[in-house]
Structure 1
Amino acid sequence: MGLDNIVIPSYAKIFFAIFVVEIIIGTFTNAFIILVNLRDWLKGQVLNSSDRLVVSLALSNTCCVFGNAASVVFYIYFTGLVFLDYVFYTLYGVMMYTIFSSSWLSSWLCLFFFLKIITFKGGCFEWMKMKVESLVPWLIFSSQVISFFSSLPFIWTTTKVFSSNFTSLDLGANQTFKVIGYKMNDSYIGFSIIVNCFVPFLIVMATTGRIIASLTLHAQHMKQNMEDSRGASLKVHRMAARTMSSLLGIYFIFYMVELALGFLPMDSPMYWICHVLILVFPNLQSIILIMGNSKLRQVWSDLMNCKKKP
Structure 2
Amino acid sequence: MIEICNSSEDELSMFVIIISFTVPGMECIIGIIGNGFIMVINGAEWVQNKKFSPSGRILFFLSLSRIALQSCMMIENSAALIFPSFYKEDTVYEIFKVIFMFLTFCSLWFATWLSIFYFVKIANFNHPLFLRLKWKIAGLMPWLLWSSVIISFCYSILFSQQVYNTSCIHSIPKPFSNFTKKKHKINTNMINLAIIYNVGMFIPLILFMLAAVLLIISLKKHILQMESNTTGYRNPSMEAHIGAIKAISSFFILYIFNFIALLLYMSNIFDDNSFWTVFCKIIMAAYPSGHSVLLILGNPKLRNNWGRFQHQICSCCLSSRSWTLSGK
What's 1:9 paired with? 12
Mapped partners of 1:77, 1:177: distance in 2: 18
Contact 1:29/1:283 (8 A) holds in 2: yes
Q: 1:233 aligns with which of 224, 227, 237?
A: 237
What's 2:202 paired with? 198
Q: 1:110 aligns with which of 115, 118, 125?
A: 115
**What is the CA-CA distance between 1:207 and the residue it aligns to?**
1.2
Mapped partners of 1:288, 1:112: distance in 2: 17
What's 1:66 paired with? 71
What's 1:242 paired with? 246
Q: From the superposition, tell whether residues 305 and 215 of structure 1 become closer, same or farther in structure 2 (CA, over 3 Å).
A: farther
Q: 2:263 aligns with which of 256, 259, 266?
A: 259
Q: Which amino acid aligns with 2:197?
A: I
Report the identity percentage.
Answer: 26
- Structure 1 residue runs of 4+, over 6 Å off? none
**What is the CA-CA distance between 1:189 and the residue it aligns to?**
1.8
Mapped partners of 2:229, 2:49: distance in 1: 44
**What is the CA-CA distance between 1:44 and the residue it aligns to?**
2.5
- 3-state SS of paired residue (2:272): coil
What's 2:189 paired with? 185
**What is the CA-CA distance between 1:45 and the residue it aligns to?**
4.7
- Are 2:272 and 1:269 equivalent residues in the alignment? no
Contact 1:239/1:292 (8 A) holds in 2: yes
Contact 2:168/2:184 (8 A) holds in 1: yes
- Higher strand proportion: 2
Bigger shift: 139-148 or 116-125? 116-125
- 3-state SS of paired residue (1:266): coil
**What is the CA-CA distance between 1:277 and the residue it aligns to?**
1.2
- Are 2:41 and 1:42 equivalent residues in the alignment? no
Matches within 5 A, 1:1-310: 6-7=8-9, 9-10=12-13, 11-15=15-19, 16-157=21-162, 158-164=164-170, 178=182, 180-223=184-227, 225-261=229-265, 262=267, 263-308=269-314
Contact 2:123/2:219 (8 A) holds in 1: no
Q: Which amino acid aligns with 1:295?
A: K
Gaps of 5+ in 2: 1-6, 173-179, 319-328
Mapped partners of 1:96, 1:240: distance in 2: 27
Q: Which amino acid aligns with 1:258?
A: L
Gaps of 5+ in 1: 167-175
Structure of greater Rg:
2
Bigger shift: 299-308 or 12-21? 299-308
Contact 1:112/1:132 (8 A) holds in 2: yes
Q: State the number of aligned residues.
A: 299
What's 1:170 paired with? none
Return the TM-score normalized by structure 2: 0.83
Q: Which amino acid aligns with 1:180?
A: H
**What is the CA-CA distance between 1:89 and the residue it aligns to?**
2.2
Contact 2:90/2:167 (8 A) holds in 1: no
Contact 2:122/2:240 (8 A) holds in 1: no
What's 1:172 paired with? none
- 3-state SS of paired residue (1:58): helix
Q: From the superposition, tell whether residues 192 and 124 of structure 1 become closer, same or farther in structure 2 (CA, over 3 Å).
A: farther
Contact 1:162/1:179 (8 A) holds in 2: yes
Contact 2:171/2:182 (8 A) holds in 1: no
Mapped partners of 2:183, 2:133: distance in 1: 51
Over the aligned positions, Cα root-mean-square deviation in angstroms equals 2.5
Show CA shifts across 1:74-133 (max 9, x none): 111111111234421221111111111111112111111222222333454333222111
